[in-house]
Structure 1
Amino acid sequence: MSIGNSPEDDRPSDDLHATPPPAVEQAPTPADDRPSIGRVLRQGRVDAGMTVDEVSTSTRVRVPIVHAIEEDDFSRCGGDVYARGHIRTIARAVGVDPEPLLAQFADEHGGRPAPTPAAPLFEAERIRSDPRRPNWTAAMVAAIVAVIGFVGFTAFGGSDDGGAKQQAAEGATPATGKPKPTQTPKPTKPTDPKPDPTDSAIAAAPRDKVTVKINAADGRSWISAKDHNGRIMFDGLLEQGESKTFQDNQKVDLVLGDAGAIQLYVNGKQVDNEFEPGQVERLTYTKGDPEVG
């Protein structure tokens, strides 16, 4: 009894050693010959005649980020979302169409980017500070400090002045001990070697000298008095109610700025005059009876 062949034995021997069909070869993908995004933006900036600083000022994108994007380094943008925004802003600033660049960025970085946390956004989008812009906050703080200091100084100084004024108004507090004896001031020597005679002296004026008393009875007046040698005996303002007396061996020359406000006594006698207010008079008196020179 013979054993029959299995179905596998029925296949031709050539089929057992047949080679599998060759795999279909795919056509090689042509390399992407497009220039990089950074190169396009840099070339656009050069063609527009702009510097990196000018691009940064125009777009509010910091200078280091502009440099990084032109080198195709988008890691400093803070994420794909903000990289897209920087590409679009810079492209428009240098006159380049941003849409092809955005499409190329999507192809190279996997399409729609994932959301980025807020911290890198703040760091990436921070606007550069302008060094020429005045610091108004610091100026305001300095002004407030100055005002507070001035108010405090005025308050403390005012309180001290107020206490001094109050003490002066109320009078000094009486001392509990024995009062100190008051010292009588010593009479000072007059600067003029010739002492001014009193009214009684004018009444008995010596006949061998000329004595002139000026009284500013009706107002103040500027006066000047000289002796017979031309030396100035007095030159100044005589307030209302004040008087001056001058004496010389020969004569006294007077200049009265407001003769109408002056009363004159010469050699013990009052001189009647009709001087007008504001009238300037030049007078000379000698010995004996009042005589106007």
Structure 2
Amino acid sequence: MSIDNSPEDERPFPDMSEETPTSVGRALQQARIAAGLTVDAVSSATRVRIAIVHAIEADDFAPCGGDVYARGHIRTLARAVHLDPAPLIARFDAEHGGRPAPTPAAPLFEAERIRPERRGPNWTAAMVAAIVAVVGFVGFTAFKGGGDGNDAKSQVAEGVTTKPGKAASATPKKDKPADPTPEASDSAIAAAPQDKVTVKVTAPGGRSWISAKDHNGRMLFDGLLKKGESKTFQDNSKINLILGDAGAIQLYVNGKKIEDNFRPGAVERLTYTKGDPEAG
């Protein structure tokens, strides 16, 4: 008696060909390996720190400092390894609750800055000024009165010896007005030297990672600029900047405010030289 396989044993195995879609970090890592690049090479090309590159490839976006910075890093790394960043950004948004709507922080900040502050009258200062005026008037009157008495006694003592036309003038001499004190400059950066390039970076709209180098490639600053903070850099010929979130940054170059249209989360590389501001 032979034992044959039952029909149930001939059923096909379940189809396991469908694989889980590749994650954002895994896709970046595979593209980097395919391009023959090391983590150090990608970090040097993008200015993204090595620890952050490792974390992103492991799908750990906490070291980025927030979703805005994570999107910026993903976009920068994708371009470095020759990937289209749009699908990766869309996958990141889908896995992290979607992209938040931008908040118009700059108009609110400007309105709050130019709103005049209402203050009541300073009665203490007014009383002090009135007392000083009264004391000065009394002292001036007493001094003038003493001087007039001495002049009268001198005229009586001289008698007929006083010659016509030589009488003392009754009009007091006016003191020469003091030279006006020059007013201070409205802004310290307006006095930037013409033979140097001066770049002031402020973060009124939020925090941003920035990197600044001089014309020799020497690092002047590499770190996080918090909201409300500012940094000023100066060099004899050139300043190179990298902005992690250009939309949160306001620039002043050689005493002039730079009017830009940087988007929130955009990574920008800029170069400024002496004279009128000119982006490289």
TM-score, normalisation: structure 2: 0.34
TM normalised by structure 1 equals: 0.32
- Tell which has more relative contact order, 1 or 2 (C-alpha 8 A, sep 6+): 2
Q: Kindly name which structure, 1 or 2, has the bigger radius of gyration based on alpha carbons.
A: 1
